[in-house]
Amino acid sequence: MAQAYAIQSAAIERFPDKVVGWKVGGVPPSQQPELGVHRLAGAIFARNVWASAEGAATALPEIEGGFAAVESEFIARIGHDLDPDKTDWSLADAVAAIDKIFVGVELAGSPLSAINDLGSAVVASDFGNNGGLIIGPELADWRERLEAIEVETFVNGESVGVGGSASLQGGAMESVRFLAGHCARWGRPLKAGMLISTGAVTGVHRVHAGDQAVCVFRGVAELHCSVVRAEAQ
């Protein structure tokens, strides 16, 4: 994993955009003993953050020959610059660092089609297999409501997964706790306004250009996505 993050760090320095947030993904239980971690992190860039529009589908670009998937996620926003020297975070510390929670969708995206098959170290090396992030409505009273929100993902009208915060090992807030310590140790402490995509609560659902997806957060919002062919930038 150290080598994977060294590769990611070098790529961040070469990528012509600003890091505005981080995705957190789960490491499969079978890989955790070897890698020594249960989460991984990847950079999210400014040009790949999109606001959802009520009643309209957000375009998600699939790189031809690569990998694309939709993931229903809760998005945390950091409320203040975090202590760059603090590497040991409790769950309560992490919750206190958040000022808002949004519902959203992560586009898992990479030019490497087999990225997930090659393991979590490969995923981490390639920006955590992140291709973008849709920000949906704010979740009001999130401290009281987060754990009770049921989420369901549909692809082309078919239900492909149901879950919620509890679907993630340790819950969505464990992702924030992990990331705060990870980024401090990595020399990239979290800053006010940064977004954290906390993990795929209904699973990772591969899609291709032409597919339609809907991520339903019961009692909150429905986020519609349309997968399109990526254009060179």
Q: Domains in the chain: how many in total? A: 1
Contact between 175 and 37 (Cβ < 8 Å): no
Distances, alpha carbon 45 to alpha carbons 1, 99, 213, in Å: 21, 21, 22
Domain that holds residue 34: 2-229
pLDDT digits (tens), the chain, 233 positions: 999 999 999 999 999 999 999 999 999 999 999 999 999 999 999 999 999 988 899 999 999 999 999 999 999 999 999 999 999 999 999 999 999 999 999 999 999 999 999 999 999 999 999 999 999 999 999 999 999 999 999 999 999 999 999 999 999 999 999 999 999 999 999 999 999 999 999 999 999 999 999 999 999 999 999 999 999 87
pLDDT, residue 88, reads 96
Which tokens is 232 given?
Answer: 């060179």
**H or E stretch at 58:** strand 58-62
Pairing label, strands 67-78, 39-45: unpaired
Rounded Cα–Cα distance for residues 129 and 211 (Å): 19
* CATH assignment of the domain containing 18: 3.90.850.10
